[in-house]
Structures are given as C-alpha cells and as structure tokens.
Amino acid sequence: MLTLQTLVSRETAPGEFAVVTVGAFHAGTRNNVIPDEAKLQLTVRSYKDEVRKRLLAGIERIAEAEAKAAGMMKMPLVERVEGTNAVYNDPELAKHIMAAVGARLGNDNVRQTPPISASEDFSEFGRDGVPTFMMWVGATDPERWKAAMQSREALPSLHSSGFAPDLAPILKTAILAETTMVLSVLGPRK
C-alpha cells in the first residue's frame, strides 16, 4: 500500500494535483487463518487526464510488481469499478451564479474556495462542452462553525464517518440556493 504513494510523491511533478487513497482493505475471515485473497479499494483523483492515466497505469504496474516480488503464483486483478473525472466549474457560469446566489443569500454568505478534487458524474457534461457548476452549502451550525474556526478544530467533512449536517437549515438554504441558481440560468441574463 505504501508503494502506491510513490505515484504521487515520486512520479507526479510538483504542482500537479494527484491523489491515490486506499479507502478500504479487506482480507481474511479469522485471525488465525491466512487469507487466500486481499482486496484494496482506491480513490484516484487528478485535475488532468494525462495525470489520471499515469496514476491508473502506475497502480497496475505496482500491483503486478509487488505480486511478483512476493512470489505470487497469480497476478492481481486490477479493476476500475467506478470513477469519474474532476468537476470543472465554468468560470463565466460560476461568476453569474455566484452573483445571483450572493444577491439572494447575502454576499457575505457566498465565497469562492480554492479548487478541490470533487468528482461527480455530471463532470462528463462539462467534458462534452456543457458549462457546469458545483456549489457547496454549509452544513454546520453557525455557532459551532465559529467556535471551530477560533479553536482550529477540524470539523467532520462530507465523506467522514462523523459528518452530521444540521438538516433543517441546510435543506432550506440548499433549496433556496438551488432555485436561485436555476432561475438565474433559465431567466434573462444581465
């Protein structure tokens, strides 16, 4: 598993975004039985297609090399069972939507964040030329957020087992933001 990290640390140029995460490892059924197989489940993220292709090829190369080094009789099966490309926010669409949502929710409540490696299946629309936009809606009680920012406490994020959104206000805000976005795109542009 550690060798996979060299794909990012040794084979990806500084400044290029790349992530290889082992999110799950499954092997064996009992503590005193040597398992016949082990299964790693990975997340692979990048902003550029060529980086992603290099990472995926590197995973196969490393899996095979590790199996050979261990004297395995059977080579590993590397399958891509799911995955999408990173979402790219269209700059013009983002500017338009952020202005509309800011006017509705208050400009102090809307902020642009640095790029992240979000991958959602609608990213494929963007790759086919359809302008796309992805927006996050805060999910934490504002008082808890302020306290966490002051104490530098890390709050559980979206894919964390500790993620527990404050449902009533987040749903109200998300619905208001979404309807504002849709109406601003479908209505006349200023």
Please tell me whether residues 33 and 100 are part of one structural domain. no
Average pLDDT over residues 152-167: 86
pTM: 0.69
Average pLDDT over residues 64-87: 88
Judged against a pLDDT cut of 70, whether residue 174 lies above it is answered with: yes
Tokens (6 digits) for 179? 């309807």
Residue 52 is assigned to a structural domain of this protein: yes
Please tell me whether residues 106 and 29 are part of one structural domain. no
Average pLDDT over residues 156-160: 83
Tokens (6 digits) for 98? 């952020």
Other C-beta atoms within 10 Å of 64: how many?
Answer: 14
CATH number of domain containing 37 = 3.30.70.360
Residue 78 is assigned to a structural domain of this protein: no
Judged against a pLDDT cut of 90, whether residue 36 lies above it is answered with: no
Residue 135 is assigned to a structural domain of this protein: yes
Tokens (6 digits) for 47? 């902003």
pLDDT band with cut points at 50, 70 and 90 for residue 190: low
pLDDT band with cut points at 50, 70 and 90 for residue 188: confident
Please tell me whether residues 23 and 96 are part of one structural domain. no
Judged against a pLDDT cut of 70, whether residue 171 lies above it is answered with: yes
Average pLDDT over residues 63-76: 92
Residue 8 CA, chain-centre distance (Å), reads 16
Residue 85 is assigned to a structural domain of this protein: no
Q: Are 84 and 49 in contact (CB under 8 A)?
A: no
Residues 6+ apart with CB under 8 A from 121: 84
Domain count, the chain: 2
Please tell me whether residues 65 and 96 are part of one structural domain. no
Judged against a pLDDT cut of 90, whether residue 156 lies above it is answered with: no
Please tell me whether residues 114 and 178 are part of one structural domain. yes
- Domain containing 138: what range? 91-186
Looking at mean pLDDT, say which of 79-88, 98-107, 166-175 comes out highest: 98-107
Looking at mean pLDDT, say which of 127-136, 157-166, 172-181 comes out highest: 172-181
Please tell me whether residues 30 and 109 are part of one structural domain. no
The answer to which of 27-31, 84-88, 179-183 has the lowest mean pLDDT is: 84-88
Please tell me whether residues 168 and 105 are part of one structural domain. yes
What sign results for the dihedral spanned by CA atoms 88, 91, 96, 101?
positive
Judged against a pLDDT cut of 70, whether residue 111 lies above it is answered with: yes
